[in-house]
Structure 1
Amino acid sequence: MPLRHHTVPVTPFRQNASLVWCDVTQEAAVIDPGGEVPRLLAEVERLGLTLKAIWLTHAHIDHAGGTGELARLRGLPIVGPHQGDQFWITALPQQAAMFGFPPAEMFTPTRWLEDGDTVQIGQESLNVRHCPGHTPGHVVFHSASARRCFVGDVLFAGSIGRTDFPGGDHDTLIRSITERLWPMGDETVFIPGHGPESSFGEERRTNPFVGGRWG
């Protein structure tokens, strides 16, 4: 499989930062570096990867808290999320204080993402879908060839993202799952922002929040 990935839980929230890389070139991106930047860089070194970019699903502190530091240390472009999450980026210092995180370095994304965009690492391209509901600017990264999707906090094994933070909306989240994730196919394995992997088929069948819903 040319696209590979490795999950590194970081921060007290055990957020799944994901290293994704092209097995041909060993060029990698990190999805949602929420914190513990030295640990993430140690994993990059251990795996023999060349880190080329940061990709963000959304801008909550446990997903984006280490972004500014990592971008500064390695001179990396910050790709994503959708511009709907600008207010969450602006509020990173307040988020850090509220949840007891280390101060977060501010950043400006190099590139905002829109629904239907693609991102590339080495010889591998992933499709971007805008999936609001947990946050207004939330995106997911889908590799059709690898049958993998990195969904941030849209969907979990047995649960869905919370919608009680500013900008969250339950009905919008359900539509994002049923109209944008389910069509990727039952066999697609997703890597959530927290907890274990699952498949869209398994969640469509059994998830109490969205099970049986086709959109």
Structure 2
Amino acid sequence: MGKLQAGIIPVTPFQQNCTILFDDETREGVVIDPGGDVPVIEATIRENNLLIKEIWITHGHIDHAGGASQLRDALDVRVIGPHEADLPLLENLEMQARSFGVAMEAHNLVPDRWLADGDTVSFGDHVFEVYHCPGHAPGHVIFYNPLQKFAHLGDVLFNGSIGRTDLPGGDHATLLASIRDKVLPLGDEVGFLCGHGPGSRIGDERRGNPYLQGL
């Protein structure tokens, strides 16, 4: 087994972190949250000689899932996740684009597999645990690799902030409960990437993130 590597491609007007996780020896990997700019994602895959096995979705907002259907067709792979509670969002990705008034291509999506709390997903020898973390979106999931002490948290927790809860299906108290009950117990030493901006470590956020004080 090679080392787990991660690359980030900022996509869409929302500058969302489309993330490619891959094995540095086999070049097998997955794309997490291809929100848009699919030709750019495809070019990055080709330039780095990567073999994409699946597409993983953290939640159903347009900047994370808007390009998933197009990329699925281009790569002939399955879309995995999020939790089924985000079906209403995924069925209305094209309407989300119009409501936000952004010039980006988006296609409605039904995943090939829904995810639930306690599931696992993997590529090669790299296995990730799935945690259902609602609050930013009802069906939001995160991915955690215990062996590498690495997590992809989507829009649940950011470096210095937390996900928005003013969008349809969002709830501030629910998001804080997800962070308290699912994210923080992963451990202070766990490093993470997120849906926007730079990553961090859970311990740094527990100590310094103003939104987490008192959890």
TM-score when normalising by structure 1? 0.96
Aligned to 1:144: 146
Per-residue CA distance 1:142-168 (angstroms, 9 max, x = gap): 111111111110011111011111111
Q: Distance in 1 between matches of 2:48 and 2:187?
A: 30
Q: Distance in 1 between matches of 2:186 and 2:103?
A: 35
Tell me, what secondary structure is at the counterpart of 2:210? coil
* Structure 1: segments with no counterpart, 5+ residues: none
Q: What letter is aligned with 1:5?
A: A
> Does the 8 Å CA contact 2:144/2:150 hold for their aligned counterparts?
yes
Aligned to 1:95: 96
Superposition deviation, residue 210 in structure 1: 0.5
Tell me, what secondary structure is at the counterpart of 1:152? coil
Per-residue CA distance 1:76-135 (angstroms, 9 max, x = gap): 100000000001011111101122142422221000000010001111111100000000
In the alignment, structure 1 residue 158 sits paired with structure 2 residue 156: no
Tell me, what secondary structure is at the counterpart of 1:20? strand
Match of 1:175 among 174, 177, 187: 177
Superposition deviation, residue 50 in structure 1: 0.3
> Does the 8 Å CA contact 2:36/2:105 hold for their aligned counterparts?
no
Q: Distance in 1 between matches of 2:85 and 2:170?
A: 11
Tell me, what secondary structure is at the counterpart of 1:173? helix
Aligned to 1:23: 24
Superposition deviation, residue 212 in structure 1: 4.8
Tell me, what secondary structure is at the counterpart of 1:201? helix
In the alignment, structure 1 residue 130 sits paired with structure 2 residue 129: no
Q: Distance in 1 between matches of 2:55 and 2:209?
A: 30
Aligned to 1:54: 55
Tell me, what secondary structure is at the counterpart of 1:209? helix
- Classify 1:101/1:144 alpha carbon distance in 2 versus 1 (closer, same or farther; 3 Å): farther
Q: Distance in 2 between matches of 1:18 and 1:143?
A: 15
Mean alpha-carbon deviation: is it higher for 12-21 or for 45-54? 45-54
Count of residue correspondences: 213
Aligned to 2:115: 113
- Classify 1:115/1:62 alpha carbon distance in 2 versus 1 (closer, same or farther; 3 Å): same
* Structure 2: segments with no counterpart, 5+ residues: none
Aligned to 1:38: 39
> Does the 8 Å CA contact 1:21/1:28 hold for their aligned counterparts?
yes
Tell me, what secondary structure is at the counterpart of 1:126? strand
Q: Distance in 1 between matches of 2:122 and 2:25?
A: 13
Aligned to 1:71: 72
- Aligned-residue identity in percent: 48
> Does the 8 Å CA contact 1:26/1:49 hold for their aligned counterparts?
yes
TM-score when normalising by structure 2? 0.96
Tell me, what secondary structure is at the counterpart of 1:104? coil
> Does the 8 Å CA contact 2:67/2:105 hold for their aligned counterparts?
no
Aligned to 1:6: 7
> Does the 8 Å CA contact 1:205/1:212 hold for their aligned counterparts?
no
Q: Distance in 1 between matches of 2:177 and 2:136?
A: 11
What value does the CA root-mean-square deviation take over the aligned residues? 1.1
> Does the 8 Å CA contact 2:12/2:104 hold for their aligned counterparts?
no
